[in-house]
Homo-oligomer: A and B are copies of this chain.
Amino acid sequence: MYFKNNRPVFYQIADDIERKIYGGEYALGQKLPSIRELGLTLGVNPNTIVHVYDELESRGLIRTESTSGKYVVSDEKKIEGLKRKYLEERTREFLSDIKEINISVDELILKIYEIEGK
């Protein structure tokens, strides 16, 4: 995982895990990597991962099982709702940026097809 230098690392990691939950790479109820393990994997300090997991917990995506670790919440409707909201907001924000640079939706969609190789 590469980190950009224009946003706090803990947000970048949290956002990535959030997407992995929405995408099913982390399943409902699944145990997340331990704080120390994920810190090692990503090459960041464990305290940063503590911050990441606090952030995800405050977003309602994971819960702490005090003794055994951190888990994706099991409430499918909740996750689904948050995912829809994520898609909506991210898309609106993207469209807003694209329109600000004077690219039409049609041009944008051509660009998307071009990137997707269709």
Contacts and interface: CB of A to CB of B under 8 A. Distances in A.
- How many copies the complex holds: the figure is 4
Looking at chain A's contact residues, the main secondary structure is helix
> What band does the interface of chain A fall in when counting residues whose beta carbon is under 8 Å from B?
35 or more
Contacts of A111: 87-88, 91
Contacts of A113: 105
B109 A98 contact: no
20 contacts: A5-B66, A6-B7, A6-B11, A7-B7, A19-B97, A23-B102, A24-B102, A83-B101, A86-B101, A90-B94, A90-B97, A91-B98, A92-B115, A94-B94, A95-B116, A105-B113, A105-B116, A105-B118, A109-B109, A109-B112
